[in-house]
Amino acid sequence: MSLTFSLLGTSGRARRGRLHTAHGTAETPAFMPVGTAAAIKALASDQVRATGAEVVLANTYHLMLRPGAARIARLGGLHRFMDWPGPILTDSGGFQVFSLAQLREIDERGVTFRSHIDGAKEDLTPERAVALQRELDATITMVLDECTTWPVEEAEAAASMRRSMRWAERSKAAFAARPGYGLFGIVQGSVWRDLREESAAALTRIGFEGYAVGGLAVGEGTARMVAAAGYATACLPADRPRYFMGIGRPEDIVAAVALGADMFDCVVPTRSGRTGQAFTRRGTVNMRNARHRDDPRPIDADCACPACRTYGRAYIHHLVRSEEILGLTLLSLHNVHYYQDLMRDIRVAIEADRYDDFQRDFAAQQALGDIEPV
């Protein structure tokens, strides 16, 4: 039997669930740290596991170019390669082709492009995207789709979405079911309600183990994003997981859970960490700031991550200012840990059917701002 999803409970539209996969279970709502090139940036897999993360994401576009999907297959698959025995979700490569690759050309068949690494010509079709993810041994395979940019005309968004739906059908035909593995479709349609509903209905008709909502947070603004995500989610089957791609900042995740989203990914925790930003229960803190230089307190007194248990802000500040690699590692680790704590708190709140309260408390606490300087 393919990958399955148990809906354990709800609080309003917020859902508490569990994924059952060939590589173990994962509690939802879940945040998946991003391991673009088969590594969560600056972190070893055991450090990521210790944060409580159960699923990670890897990028097919990067891995097909280097080290190559066939090579990873020969080495026993992505789980062994990067030491992540748990579930791995891979994207289709499409999003990166559209954002990173050069000289791309898209037609009904798929997309051709030149590698941003060596300029080599490559192509990606719905069938090849599925085959590459099979070579990677992805637990969750994503269909190839086109993510429309913003702003976009409705007619263009409609044409693009309908082509993505034809690609979704081809992806489904190309995907060989395996026990505990699954294929997810992706709802497109930009900000238009009728397009989002048409897309969700088309995917539901094809039938997938899970449904993603794509094309969010591309510059359309929070109000339009929440509305679009809401239209999409309302039409998706309740018994399948819903993955909001590329979402997001902590406040975005808290809002998306209230819409019924189950899975998330974003580079923000690791990328912010590499620029000196730390997430805390009282909002983000810039560790480069001189006010930390004499502060022996941890980044976040309520955080049990290795950085907060072991080091003071003065030391983290010193590492960041001295451009020590350890600073990048500790802040990435802290931020991934913060995200996993957030997801655990979200799950607990849904279980207790008090997600409304959670949202209110979360916003109030974030609004407090950082602790007073020493």
Q: Which residues are catalytic?
A: 91, 265
- Under the criterion CB under 8 A, does residue 71 sit at the interface with a copy of itself? yes
Least distance to a copy of itself, CB of residue 135, Å: 14
Both tokens of 259, joined, read 């819409």
- Under the criterion CB under 8 A, does residue 319 sit at the interface with a copy of itself? yes
**Residue 335 CB partners (closer than 8 Å, separation 6+):** 268, 269, 270, 272, 273, 277, 278, 279
The amino acid at residue 363 is A
Q: Hey, which bits of 93-156 come out as E strands? A: 102-106, 111-114, 121-124, 140-142
- Under the criterion CB under 8 A, does residue 318 sit at the interface with a copy of itself? yes
Measured CA to CA, the distance from residue 369 to residue 22 in angstroms comes to 42
Least distance to a copy of itself, CB of residue 367, Å: 30
Sign of dihedral through CA atoms 45, 46, 49, 50? negative
What residues from 142 to 201 belong to the interface with a copy of itself (CB under 8 A)? none
- Under the criterion CB under 8 A, does residue 211 sit at the interface with a copy of itself? no
- Under the criterion CB under 8 A, does residue 116 sit at the interface with a copy of itself? no
Measured CA to CA, the distance from residue 195 to residue 268 in angstroms comes to 29
Least distance to a copy of itself, CB of residue 309, Å: 10
Q: Is 230 exposed, middle or buried (0-12, 13-18, 19+ CB in 10 A)?
A: middle
The 3-state DSSP class for residue 198 equals helix
The amino acid at residue 315 is Y
x/- site string to a copy of itself, residues 8 to 37, per CB under 8 A?
Answer: -----------------------------x
**Residue 323 CB partners (closer than 8 Å, separation 6+):** none
- Under the criterion CB under 8 A, does residue 306 sit at the interface with a copy of itself? yes
Interface with a copy of itself (CB under 8 A), residue total 39
DSSP 218: S
- The H or E element containing residue 252 is helix 250-258
- Under the criterion CB under 8 A, does residue 42 sit at the interface with a copy of itself? yes
- Under the criterion CB under 8 A, does residue 44 sit at the interface with a copy of itself? yes
- Under the criterion CB under 8 A, does residue 324 sit at the interface with a copy of itself? yes
Least distance to a copy of itself, CB of residue 278, Å: 16
Q: According to CB under 8 A, which one of 6, 9, 76, 123 is a site residue for a copy of itself?
A: 76
Q: According to CB under 8 A, which one of 49, 249, 271, 321 is a site residue for a copy of itself?
A: 321
Least distance to a copy of itself, CB of residue 318, Å: 5
Measured CA to CA, the distance from residue 102 to residue 115 in angstroms comes to 7
Measured CA to CA, the distance from residue 246 to residue 324 in angstroms comes to 29
Which one, 81 or 175, has the nearer CB to a copy of itself?
81
- Under the criterion CB under 8 A, does residue 43 sit at the interface with a copy of itself? yes
The 3-state DSSP class for residue 261 equals coil
What residues from 273 to 302 belong to the interface with a copy of itself (CB under 8 A)? 293-294, 296
CB 287 within 8 Å of CB 281: no
Least distance to a copy of itself, CB of residue 138, Å: 17
CB 76 within 8 Å of CB 136: no
Q: According to CB under 8 A, which one of 24, 52, 67, 180 is a site residue for a copy of itself?
A: 67
Write out the residues near a copy of itself by the rule CB under 8 A.
37-39, 41-46, 62, 66-67, 71, 74-76, 81-83, 293-294, 296, 306, 310-312, 314-315, 317-319, 321-322, 324-326, 328-330
